[in-house]
Amino acid sequence: MAQRKRKETAQDKKRPEAQAYIAGAGTVVDESVTETLKSNFMPYAMSVIVSRAIPEIDGFKPSHRKLLYTMYKMGLLDGPTIKSANIVGRTMQLNPHGDAAIYDTMVRLSEGNGALLHPFVASKGSFGKAYSRDMQCAAARYTEAKLAPISAELFADIEKDTVDFVDNYDATMKEPVLFPVTFPTVLVNANMGIAAGMASSICSFNLKEVCETTIAYIKDEDINIADTLPAPDFSIGGELLYNREQMEKIYETGRGSFKVRGTYVYDKANNCIDIKSIPPTTTTEAIIEKVIELAKAKKITEINDIRDETDLSGLQITVDLKRGTDPEKLMAKLYKMTPLQDSFACNFNVLIASTPRVMGIKEIISEWVAFRSECVRRRVYYKLSKAKDKLHLLKGMQKILLDIDKAIKIVRETANEKDVVPNLMIGFGIDEIQAEYVAEIKLRHLNREYILDRLEDIEKLQKTIEEMQSILDSRSKIKRIIVDELTEVMEKYGAERKTAIVSTYEDDADTDDGPVDDSPVTLFFTRDGYFKKITPQSLRMSGEQKLKDGDKLVQTIEAANDYDLLFFTNAEQVYKSRVADFADGKASVLGDFVAGKLEYDEGESSIYMVATKDYSGFMLFVFDNGRIAKVPLSSYETKTNRKKLIKAYCGKFKLHSVFHFDSDRDIILKSTGGRMLIVNTASIPLKSSKENGGIAVMTQKKGQRIYTVKNYTAGKLENEHRYRTKNLPAAGSLAPSGGASQAKLNL
């Protein structure tokens, strides 16, 4: 139980309501921990999610929106830059979280920092660099800023009731709830945030491709997004290792990851490599430090020197090579062993109506189109209302202009000024608003030209009103307006991709790293997916194997450092690696968590490990329903270095267990019905198709399934012929009631 006790303070006594506090002082409230969390933590968590960390459909978090709106109200769309400190100070009228946090937000949105594909803040001075940890921005008093031209698309018609406004924190100003953005900014600029219990990570896409995709979606909702939006695009450039199937999964679910790597140029004259771009998830310092660490550990021996040569012309890391070094082979090593190649994890979590939702690209575009349609509808309705008001005034004036002499006579014969409007209302049958408007007409305007112009204005207004009303009545016309605006944005601000797309199959054909040490090792694999590689010397000196609480060893394999590893998962996939890719371990450590090291998909876990040098033998997949599939291990061998194979086994039936055998042997199956069956794997046909469903081996009654599967050695069971059969499938025989034979089998 959690206890909360309120103590009276001296300040409390000075308050008028102090008596009320004193009355409850000293009371101990018994409250369960769950109730305390609900009343204290949950409101905080929701505040962080809704008001701080997760972007909304306009692509902005509240801190971004408050800063940009302040700059808009300061008139910074046009004119020269002003001191950043001035902007930060003014923004505190909307965002009272301190000048440092506001300035950090401005830095990330700026052109100078380079974090965004299309920055919203034009900057002057040192704003640091997104790709460098040590290149920090100058203080706000030294830098200047204004809104970039593309920011005009954020505020288009914001004064025409396109979005809702709310009070700021002290109710002295109004601020927009969302921006009426004319293009899907939520996809164009990268956005990350960590809330309480959830996070968001949205990669950036090319503006032109996003606009084209949105237009295609508006015209046909059944489009394949990947046809017009091939892959993300980053401000820092680099190369994206493209796998269409993987990308389509991210587009559909909003989750997943892909690899991005830096680009380089080989300078033959100076025998050096100039790295020109890096992944957006790392920094130049992190790469240089890792290379130096590998060089000291003698894992990379081809490098003489590495240094950061970044200057005003842009990023550059220079690597001096030793004579005779193959630059392509070295870069293959650097990609593999350093952050020069890294994964970008996607989590498209966006706030929709204050509710966080992880959405795919098509769903995000759908929500944005709905939001933008409402903005356009509200803008047209606002203009329609203004046009109707103006038409109302002109129609009142029309009645008076038809008989100007009568109007003049009424005004001249009215004794008091306050009676002019009522008398005009009575004389011409118009309302007060119309009469006020007419009474303010200057004498110089009572000429023929003015009268004819006003009558012409009435006709134009009537046509405009009809057009706007037809727009409000037609969803297709609203969508046509959105398409026209997207086309205009695309023509104004569209640019070529900065991140090149490289097929993963091109990347798989990496240059071989050379001969690998073939010294013997012992491999250990646990039920929870931890892997250890221990040398014979270390194993002789080792004590008990350290394991995670509740975990246990399930496989121990004698192998060598040059073996390949195959990790089968519960998602019908195989992840391939090599023993040499794992560092030598000790019995006293937990080992490597394979799912993390090989970057499994979310919710995926290991179920079986195979270590092989020549891909001999076969895999045996035993399913709950008594079917068994036999697949040659060579079916999993690939000519390229592909790291992941999908559809590794049949997903139609629930998998019970997996085995790798070098040759045919006896296995014994036991069902939940108590029956046992001895089967030789030679009786199961070998099929090269990895996802074949195998054959029925042990028949199961309704509600029963395979309970255990074990290797069987002749002689372990009395009367073992009872459990063998010539024909498959078979039901097997009931297990003996005695415990001796079963104890031998450990069934």
The CATH class of the 374-492 domain is mainly alpha
Question: Residue 7 — very low, low, confident or very high, per pLDDT cuts 50/70/90?
Answer: very low
* CATH code at 263-339: 3.30.1360.40
Question: Residue 5 — very low, low, confident or very high, per pLDDT cuts 50/70/90?
Answer: very low
Percent of the chain residues past pLDDT 70, beyond the cut:
92
Report how far residue 398's alpha carbon sits from residue 420's, in angstroms, rounded to the nearest whole number: 18
Phi, psi (degrees; rounded to nearest 5) at 228: -110, -15
Domain at 614-747, CATH homologous superfamily = DNA gyrase/topoisomerase IV, subunit A, C-terminal (2.120.10.90)
Q: What would the pLDDT profile of 242-273 be if each residue is shown by its tens digit? A: 988 889 999 999 999 999 999 999 999 999 99
pLDDT at 529 (0 to 100): 93
In the chain, the amino acid numbered 523 is L
Q: What would the pLDDT profile of 120-135 be if each residue is shown by its tens digit? A: 999 999 999 999 999 9
Our answer to whether residue 142 is catalytic in this structure is yes
CB 381 within 8 A of CB 203: no
pLDDT at 6 (0 to 100): 45
Q: Is the pLDDT of residue 507 over 60?
A: no
Q: What would the pLDDT profile of 611-643 be if each residue is shown by its tens digit? A: 999 999 999 999 999 999 999 999 998 766 668
Report how far residue 747's alpha carbon sits from residue 741's, in angstroms, rounded to the nearest whole number: 9
Architecture of the domain spanning 60-180: Alpha-Beta Complex (3.90)
558: helix, strand or coil: strand
3-state secondary structure 115-161: CCCCCCEEEECCECCCCCCCCCECCCCCCEEEECHHHHHCCCCCCCC
Q: What share of the chain is helix, strand, coil (3-state, %, to 5)?
A: 35, 25, 40
Stretch 479-497: mean pLDDT:
95
Stretch 143-151: mean pLDDT:
96
Q: What would the pLDDT profile of 554-598 be if each residue is shown by its tens digit? A: 999 999 988 999 999 999 999 999 898 888 888 888 889 999 888
Q: Is the pLDDT of residue 603 over 70?
A: yes
For residue 109, give the nearest of 149, 148, 152, 74 by alpha carbon: 148
CA distances from 31 to 5, 36, 37, 358, 703 (A): 11, 7, 10, 35, 46
pLDDT at 25 (0 to 100): 63
pTM for the structure as a whole: 0.68
Q: What would the pLDDT profile of 394-413 be if each residue is shown by its tens digit? A: 888 888 877 888 888 888 88
CB 319 within 8 A of CB 303: yes
CB 225 within 8 A of CB 213: yes
Q: What would the pLDDT profile of 659-692 be if each residue is shown by its tens digit? A: 999 999 999 999 998 899 999 999 999 998 888 8
pLDDT at 44 (0 to 100): 73
Stretch 322-347: mean pLDDT:
91
Q: Is the pLDDT of residue 18 over 60?
A: no
Q: Is the pLDDT of residue 647 over 50?
A: yes
Q: Is the pLDDT of residue 504 over 80?
A: no
For residue 627, give the nearest of 669, 665, 664 by alpha carbon: 669
Report how far residue 299's alpha carbon sits from residue 370's, in angstroms, rounded to the nearest whole number: 55
Question: Residue 737 — very low, low, confident or very high, per pLDDT cuts 50/70/90?
Answer: low
Please state the domain extents for the chain. Answer: 2-31, 60-180, 263-339, 374-492, 515-602, 614-747
pLDDT at 324 (0 to 100): 87
Q: What is the mean pLDDT of the chain?
A: 88
Q: Is the pLDDT of residue 19 over 70?
A: no
pLDDT at 49 (0 to 100): 73
Q: What would the pLDDT profile of 533-559 be if each residue is shown by its tens digit? A: 998 888 888 788 889 888 999 999 999
Which is the catalytic residue, given 69, 72, 103, 142? 142
Q: What would the pLDDT profile of 153-193 be if each residue is shown by its tens digit? A: 999 999 999 999 999 989 999 999 999 999 999 999 988 88
